[in-house]
């Protein structure tokens, strides 16, 4: 059953990724056709074609590698100034110039008789912007619709009074060894909490008859009771149960009056001998539905967080490389590939992540939908980067063309013509190479050192 749920989780997200890519390209396709541009291909994926069907002048299809998609519009690159329509000079020298000329030639070869006014480069600036922003805006729309449903129907995580069990330690380990020791040996004694039957997600109601109102109450009430049988009332699956646990003497990290861990000047934990049962506690949360009016602010926060990750891509990728080829851990808020997203989906659906499911955890389906929200937010923000081959690069080219023409009109100079986006192709190839390297690194890291969301 666990394997089946894992596979279903992966398939759910895989379908969501495919739909997100397909709708992104529809965001380009619909305005392009509306403005009269001839679109010869609409493809989801890259590489060899799995399936295709021609409808009118457009071939629709699916390709093997589901890492993106594209639509092919004729006339993406204008001829060079001075060239006769349909011709191309062949005297270019230098590799970069040749690349630009080859791209123009391919673009011109797609233009058939009668298509001369159906080329992309002849569109007014605002129409070019609409066509190229259509894809990212579709991703934003998907994210907003899904997020609105989650926020208004399921709710937003809201902290509550009390404390819940975050994790139950399997064996007794002194505080000085807790970070170094990853697994328990057969000879290690079990923790009192494990023997007593504590489980992650248990809501701690009271300890020795005293109510627990915050996480700091747990250590305050447990630590003085060395070798004393202590009744602990927990709420589990909607009903209350009394567990009997006997704290043992152990070296634990000292906490301040407000429950914060105490460290010395060098940053090392300050330890004391006190009662220990072997649980870590956390503030319980409840998911409270929000009004629609709260959605814009939540969307803004999500966009800000996503933009922050993308702006720190070099730093984040350095961390991914260190984790993949070293001993470091992956940043749970860092970038992941589609392999990583699929893995998270499978683990969430199969119950391998402790804080997903259960009375105090997020619903697995909501978590999977949240993954799709994050994915579409990332596609929206990333595609706005003003570099080819990203959509933002074409938008930047169109806006530059509009600016040049506006300045020429103000200064009563001749129309400077269309901006030659082909000249930026070396940048496009460089960016594409970087993206390929990043994708390979992320996929490798997601296989050998996946993001740990908590077992």
* pLDDT in the model for residue 87: 47
Beta-bridge mates of residue 41: 59, 72
Q: Which of 25, 235, 347, 401 is catalytic?
A: 25
Quote the percentage of the chain above a pLDDT of 90: 36
Does any domain span residue 373? Answer: yes
Question: 377 with 268, same domain?
Answer: no
pLDDT of residue 360: 63
Min mean pLDDT across 6-15, 92-101, 306-315, 371-380 is at: 92-101
Q: What is the pLDDT of residue 121?
A: 87
Return mean pLDDT, the chain.
Answer: 84
Domain end call among 249, 283, 317:
283
Q: What is the pLDDT of residue 368?
A: 92
- What pLDDT does 117 receive? 85
The total number of structural domains that make up the chain: 2
User: How many beta carbons lie within 10 A of that of residue 51, not counting itself?
Assistant: 8
In a domain, 335, yes or no: yes
The predicted pLDDT at position 90 comes to 41
CA-closest candidate to residue 288, choices 144, 149, 153, 162: 153
Picking from 77, 71, 60, the residue whose alpha carbon sits closest to that of residue 131 is 71
pLDDT category at 91 given cuts 50, 70, 90 is: very low
- pLDDT of 181 reads 47
- The domain boundary, picked from 266, 283, 300, lies at 283
Q: Does some domain include residue 190?
A: yes
> Is 25 considered catalytic here?
yes
Asked if the model's pLDDT at residue 373 lies above 70, the reply is yes
Identify the domain containing residue 168 by its residue range: 163-283
Which residues 6+ apart lie within 8 Å of 426 measured at CB? 96, 99
Percent of the chain with pLDDT over 70: 86
Q: Which of 49-58, 94-103, 371-380 has the lowest mean pLDDT?
A: 94-103
Q: What is the 3-state secondary structure (H, E, C) of the chain?
A: CHHHHHHHHHHHHHHHHHHHHHHHHHHHHHHHHHCCCCEEEEEEEEEEEEEEEEECCEEEEEEEEEEEEEEEECCCCCCCCCCCCCCCCCCCCCHHHHHHHHHHHHHHHCCCCCCCCCCHHHCCHHHHHHHHHHHHHHHHHHHHHHHHHHHHHHCEEEECCCEEEEEECCECCCHHHCCCCCCCCCCCCECHHHHHCCCCCCEEEEECCEECCCCHHHHHHHCCCCCCCEEEEEEECCEEEEEEECCEEEEEECECCCCCECECCCCCECEEEEEECCEEEECCEEEECCCHHHHHHHHHHHHHHHHHHHHCHHHHHHHHHHHHHCCCCCCCCCCCCHHHHHHHHHHHHHCCCCCECCCCCECHHHHHHHHHHHHHHHHHHHHCCCCCCCHHHHHHHHHHHHHHHHHHHHCCCCCCCCCCHHHHHHHHHHHHHHHHHHHHHHHHHHHHCCCCCCC
Does 116 map to a domain? no
Residues 173 and 303 in one domain: no
Residues 383 and 251 reside in one and the same domain: no
Residues 432/389, Cβ–Cβ less than 8 Å: yes
In this structure, the answer to whether residues 271 and 326 fall within a common structural domain is no
Q: 302 and 182 in one domain? A: no
Model confidence at 252, pLDDT cuts 50, 70, 90, reads confident
**381 in a structural domain:** yes
What is the predicted pLDDT for the residue at 107? Answer: 58
* 93 inside domain: no
Tens digit of each residue's pLDDT (9 = 90 or more) over 259-296: 667 666 666 777 778 888 988 888 888 889 999 999 99
pLDDT digits (tens, 9 = 90+) for 168-199: 888 887 655 544 445 677 777 889 999 999 98
pLDDT above 80 (res 341): yes
Query: Do residues 211 and 148 share a domain?
Result: no
Tens of pLDDT, residues 195-236: 999 988 889 999 999 999 988 888 889 989 999 999 999 988
Residues 375 and 429 in one domain: yes
What pLDDT, on the 0 to 100 scale, is given for residue 105? 58
Instruction: Confirm whether 78 is domain-assigned.
Output: no
Calculate mean pLDDT across residues 360-370.
86
What pLDDT shows up at residue 376?
95
Residue 340 clears pLDDT 70, i.e. is over it:
yes
Reported as a single tens digit per residue, the pLDDT across 17-51 is 999 999 999 999 999 999 999 999 999 988 889 99
**Do 140 and 273 sit in the same domain of this protein?**
no
Any idea which of 73-77, 202-206, 389-393 has the lowest mean pLDDT? 73-77
Question: Are both 268 and 335 inside the same structural domain?
Answer: no
CATH number of the CATH domain containing 224: 2.30.42.10
Give yes or no for residue 412 having a pLDDT over 70: yes
Domain boundary among 238, 263, 283: 283
The verdict on 339 and 409 lying in the same domain is: yes
Residue 410 lies in a domain: yes
Q: Are residues 173 and 279 in the same domain?
A: yes
The reply to whether 224 and 369 lie within a common domain is no
């Amino acid at each position: 059953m666990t394997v089946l749920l894992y596979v279903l989780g992966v398939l759910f997200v895989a379908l969501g990724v495919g739909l997100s890519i397909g709708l992104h390209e529809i965001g380009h396709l619909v305005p392009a056709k509306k403005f009269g541009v001839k679109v010869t291909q609409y493809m989801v994926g890259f590489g060899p074609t799995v399936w295709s069907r021609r409808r009118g002048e457009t071939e629709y299809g699916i390709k093997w590698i589901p890492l993106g998609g594209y639509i092919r519009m004729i006339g993406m690159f204008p001829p060079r100034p001075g060239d006769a329509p349909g011709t191309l000079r062949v005297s270019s020298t230098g590799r970069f110039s040749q690349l630009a000329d080859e791209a123009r030639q391919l673009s011109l070869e797609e233009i058939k008789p009668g298509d001369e006014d159906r080329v992309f480069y002849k569109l007014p600036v605002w129409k070019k912007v609409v066509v190229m922003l259509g894809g990212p805006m579709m991703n934003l729309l998907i994210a907003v619709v899904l997020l609105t449903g989650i926020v208004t129907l399921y709710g937003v995580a809201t902290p509550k009074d009390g404390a819940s069990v975050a994790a139950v330690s399997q064996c007794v380990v002194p505080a000085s060894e807790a970070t170094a020791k990853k697994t328990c040996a057969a000879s290690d004694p079990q923790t009192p909490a494990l023997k007593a039957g504590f489980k992650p997600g248990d809501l701690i109601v009271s300890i020795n008859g005293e109510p627990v109102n915050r996480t700091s109450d747990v250590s305050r009430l447990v630590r003085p009771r060395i070798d004393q049988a202590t009744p602990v009332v927990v709420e589990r699956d909607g009903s209350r149960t009394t567990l009997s646990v006997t704290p043992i003497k152990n070296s634990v990290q000292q906490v301040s009056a407000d429950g914060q861990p105490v460290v010395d000047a060098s940053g090392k934990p300050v330890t004391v001998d006190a009662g220990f049962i072997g649980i870590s506690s956390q503030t319980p949360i409840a998911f409270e539905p929000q009004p629609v009016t709260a959605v814009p602010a939540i969307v803004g926060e999500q966009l800000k967080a996503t933009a922050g990750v993308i702006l720190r891509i070099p730093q984040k990728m350095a961390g991914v490389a260190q984790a993949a080829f070293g001993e470091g851990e992956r940043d749970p808020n860092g970038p992941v590939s589609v392999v990583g997203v699929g893995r998270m989906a499978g683990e969430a659906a199969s119950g391998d992540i402790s804080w997903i499911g259960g009375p105090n955890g997020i619903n697995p389906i909501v978590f999977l939908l949240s993954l799709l929200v994050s994915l579409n937010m990332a596609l929206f923000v990333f595609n706005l980067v003003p570099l080819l081959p990203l959509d933002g690069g074409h938008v930047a080219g169109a806006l530059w063309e509009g600016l040049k023409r506006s300045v020429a009109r103000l200064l009563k100079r001749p129309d400077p013509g269309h901006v030659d986006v082909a000249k930026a192709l070396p940048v496009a190839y460089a960016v594409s190479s970087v993206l390929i390297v990043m994708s390979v690194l992320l996929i490798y890291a997601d296989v050998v050192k996946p993001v740990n969301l908590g077992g």
